[in-house]
Structure formats: C-alpha cells, structure tokens
Amino acid sequence: MVTRGAKARASRPIALTILIVVIALNLRPFLAAPGPILAQIAQDTGLSYGTLSLLTLLPMMLMGIGAFASPPIQAAIGTRRGLLLALAFLMLGNALRLFAGNGTVLILTAVLCGASVAFIQSAIPGLIKEKFATSVAGMTGLYSAMIMTGGALGAQLTPVLVEAGRSWTVALAVLALPVLLAAVSTAGLLSETRFVRPERGLVAQLLGRRRAWTLMAVFGLINGGYSSLIAWLAPYYQAYGWSSSESGLLIAIMAVTQAVGAVILPLLARNGTDRRPWLWACAAMQATGFAGLSFAPTLAPVFWVMICSVGLAGSFALCLILALDHLPNPARAGPLAALMQGGGFILAAIPPLILARIHAATESFAGGWFMHLGWIAVAAILVNRFAPEHYPEAMGPELSG
C-alpha cells in the first residue's frame, strides 16, 4: 500500500527522475552481458551461433509483441502495478540464469526478461509525457542514455567476473540485484498515475492509422543495428584475436557513447518541432560506422563503433520523441510510442539471425554490417514523411483533439 508520504515524494520531479534512471539502467544488461563471453557459453552449452542468436532475437521479438499488449494491461491494472510485476519477472529472469548451464534454460530466461522489459519500456514514455510535459525531449534523452549505460555496465561486468574466477552463470545472475533495487524504488516512489492509463479500444484506433505503421517501420529499420551489434560485435572482433575482456570493453564503449548521444541529440533538437534533419544525421552516422565495420574493421574499430553508436542512440531517443509529438494527450501519445516500439522491435529482432546465417555462409559478419546500410537507406526515405504540420491530418481529428 502506498503511503501519503510516498505519494508526495512521487510528485517531486527529482524523485521521479531518479526512479526513471534506476529503472532504465536495468533494461539492457541482460541483453548486453552474454556478448563478451559468448564463445565460452557456446563451448559449455554446445549451442551454435545460430541458436545463440536467439538470446537477442527472442527478447527483441517479445519487446515488440509485448508492446502491443502493454496499453491494454495498463488500462486493466494501472501503470504502477504493471511496472512492479514486470520488474519482479525481470529480476526472476536474471536470477534463473544461475541455473542456465544447459542452454535451454538460458534461452528461456531471455524470453522472460524480454517480455518483462517489453512492458516497462512501453510504459515509461507515456509516464514521461505526463510527468515532464515541458521537458519531454530532455527526459527522453536521459531515459535513453540510461538504457545504453545499463548495457555498458552489463557488458563490462560479466567478463570481469568470469576472469576473476566466477562461472558465467553466476556472472549473469548477479544482474538480478540492481533489478531488485529498481522494484523497491518503484514501490516506494511511484503512485498510480492519472493520465497514462490508456483508453480502452485505443490500440485498435491507432493501428487503423497508416502513420502508426510508418513509425513502426522507421523505428525498426533505423534501430535494427543495435540488436546486431549487441549480439555479434564481440564475436566479430574476437575472430581478429581480441580477448573477451577487450571485446567487452568495446561493447562498453559502444554503450557509453550511446548514452552520450542519447542525451545530446534530443537536447540539440529540443527547440524545433521538425525531427527529420536530426534523424537523417543519425542515419548518416550509422552508415559511416557500419561501412567502416564492413570494409575496414581493424583500421579504427573504436571510431567506427562510436560514430555508429551515437547514430543509434540518437535514433532511438528521437523516434520516441517523434511518436510523442504526434499526439498532445499523454494517454494517447504513450500508447502510440508503445505500438511504435512494438512493431519496431519485431523488425529490429531479425538482423541478428540474418547475421548468424551470413556468418555460417561466409565465416564473417562483415556482410551483415553492409546489410544495415540498406536498412538505414530505407528508413531515411520514410523519415521524409514526418513533417510536423501534417501530424493532425495523419492521426485524424478524433485522436488529435
């Protein structure tokens, strides 16, 4: 039961900001942590790279599918209760990795974590729209940055623990502890929200709009590179002789750079209403990074990763802001952002599997990085449709009013 004092604390912007930071830090470690030790996991479990791609593909798919279910769940049980349940299942999914030595359990934990994160990251943008109406861009940037930072921490912590003598199952299960902190913080600081709870039947209305599907396509195409990098960047450079800790550091650099980009780019874009120039800039940075990884991977690996990461982080944050811009009502804008992530994450889940197939055929991931140049080009073309003066027409008067 939430006390009056807890409700008062939840009304304070600083307390809510801290809460969003703590929650966001836990949304990517379970995805990023296996990458640097994937070779050891493959050796111990006997799983092929194709099967291990499910550790990324299945959670990303569930982040997408679950995002469609998130608005009705919020409407039925409320945002606060939904977040508490999702955090509890995320903690359980991480903790069960202690028993993931046979591979099958490891993949099932990825499913549990992915479904939990699906609800959380679908609910938070609407919460930001409601509680920080005058600073949506800045808070969305901070939220996105903390997601990326959490991935960096997971990627760096796991090889350190393994090299210190811990088993990889213990190293992965340790990530349940910060989720516990997030759950306790949510219980103490967040009261039930008044406006984020979506209207019943809203999802069907939104899915009837072509603009919702365009947002999904752009989100998936322009953010698909993240799932590929988080899955295969470390094995790619381990094939060039890098150690697990060195490749883990590269993933950490990727995530930290994403955190910086996720803050800076939304802040730079905050004074205007047209997000297209910034999204095109992000696409150009991604294209530079993927081209370098494909054609000159050993020439300047840190630079390729950093420039690509800034573009990926900016794309993620700006797409969230773009979706929220489309509708003035938080109870409608939040579900639109959730649906964009839903279809987008389903699309973004596909590249790691394609890269695994390319690796099986060529013994290299280079062709997969080149593939992303095509995805980025299609996204850049679709972005041209997002002229802000056309938002009301695209969404219709019954939703925009």
Which distant-in-sequence residues (6+ apart) come within 8 Å of 227 by Cβ?
A: 56, 57, 60, 348, 349, 351, 352
What digits encode the pLDDT tens for the residues 14-32?
888 999 999 999 998 998 8
Instruction: Count the helices and strands in the chain (H runs, E runs).
Output: 21, 0
Output the CA–CA distances (angstroms, integers) from residue 225 to 49, 74, 111, 233, 397, in the order listed. Answer: 18, 30, 20, 11, 35
pLDDT value of position 199: 64
Q: Residue 193: which pLDDT band, with cuts at 50, 70 and 90?
A: low
Mean pLDDT, range 283-306, rounded to an integer: 95
Mean pLDDT along residues 108-124: 89
Q: How far apart are CA 170 and CA 183, in angstroms?
A: 21
pLDDT in tens, 40-49: 888 888 887 7
Residue 2 confidence class, pLDDT cut points 50, 70, 90 = very low
- 385 pLDDT more than 50: yes
Q: Is it the case that residue 283 has pLDDT exceeding 90?
A: yes
pLDDT of residue 251: 80
272 pLDDT above the threshold of 50:
yes
Residue 132 C-alpha from the chain's centroid: 21
User: Over pLDDT 90: what percentage of the chain?
Assistant: 33
| Residue among 30, 126, 53 at smallest CA distance from 340 | 126
Cα distance between residue 321 and residue 279, in whole Å:
11
Sorted by where each begins, the domain ranges of the chain are 4-400
CA atoms of 337 and 319, how far apart (whole Å): 8
CATH 3.20.20.100 fits 4-400, yes or no: no
**Mean pLDDT confidence for 254-268:** 82
Reported confidence tier of residue 175, pLDDT bands at 50, 70, 90? very high
Under the banding of pLDDT at 50, 70 and 90, the label for residue 100 is confident
Could you tell me which residues come within 8 angstroms of residue 284 by beta carbon, excluding any fewer than 6 positions away? 311
